[in-house]
Amino acid sequence: MANSTTQKIALVTGANKGIGLETARQLHSKGITVILGSRDLARGQAAAKSIGGGEGLRVIKLDVSSEADRNSAVAYIETEFGRLDILVNNAGVLLDGRSGNATSATPLSILRETFEVNFFAVVDLTQKLLPLIRKSSTGRIVNLSSILASLTLHATPGSPIYDAKTFAYDASKAALNSFTIHLAHELRGTKIKVNSAHPGWVKTEMGGEGAQLEIEDGARTSVELATLPDNGPTGAYLHMGEPLPW
């Protein structure tokens, strides 16, 4: 077991590109051992090399929609480290079209696939890793949400997202926010903090054309929540330290 009592251990899902890779990079720069979860092992290994490689970076095959991969990830972390200090649930999909509000025509297959990755996989992986996170003196769980999860803003005419309706994605992230609130409440008497992060509109494949933030800035909220001090928030929905309405 490659266990250190001082160096923090982090798992970042969807870490082979975009915000996930940048989150891994920034956490690694803070001296944290980072496990990069990647659907494709070779791409994950290439991502780790782009950060610099070395003992402080590990790569595992983790397609979050695969129960076998989720179980393997838990077994690997338990064998190698015996605990987990930081879990960043970064992996996600946006399968809705970008042609305006098509809620009434959204296929159930798109809803099911979206929820499988963005919600059910996150819940299952987190539940299975929780015994290892409980062994940390400063457990941190970060659920990568989106401003598009805000029911308040979606229902408010004139809000920044009032006309941005991608039903399957938005609903899955709203469900993820609910998981954040419920799990944070359950763990409120522990040292574990659970928060939802809105990265901003970031220049990634998912962000698309017109995105405003560089990837370095898009990872900031996840990294801040992953490294919160003991007096930091829990059960919050934040972007760069500022709360968003649920």
* Residue of 76, 162, 169, 237 marked catalytic: 169
C-alpha–C-alpha distance, residues 35 and 48, integer Å: 9
Judging by DSSP bridges, how do beta strands 237-239 and 242-243 pair with one another?
antiparallel
Domains of the chain as residue ranges with CATH: 9-243 (3.40.50.720)
Phi first, then psi, for residue 154 (nearest 5°) are -65, -30
Residue 164, SS3 per DSSP? coil
**Residue 12 CA: distances (Å) to CA of 72, 82, 86, 122, 230:** 15, 17, 8, 12, 21
Q: Are 36 and 25 in contact (CB under 8 A)?
A: no
Per-residue pLDDT of the chain (246 residues; tens, 9 = 90+): 454 557 999 999 999 999 999 999 999 999 999 999 999 999 999 999 999 878 899 999 999 999 999 999 999 999 999 999 999 999 999 999 877 899 999 999 999 999 999 999 999 999 999 999 999 999 999 999 999 999 999 999 999 999 999 999 999 999 999 999 999 999 999 999 999 999 987 555 555 555 566 778 889 999 999 999 999 999 999 999 999 999
C-alpha–C-alpha distance, residues 36 and 23, integer Å: 10
Q: Which residues of 62-100 are buried (b: 16+ CB within 10 A; e: fewer)?
A: bbbbeeebbeebbebbbeebebbbbbbbbbbbbbbeeee
Q: Is 237 annotated as catalytic?
A: no
DSSP β-bridge partners for residue 60: 37
pLDDT at position 54: 80
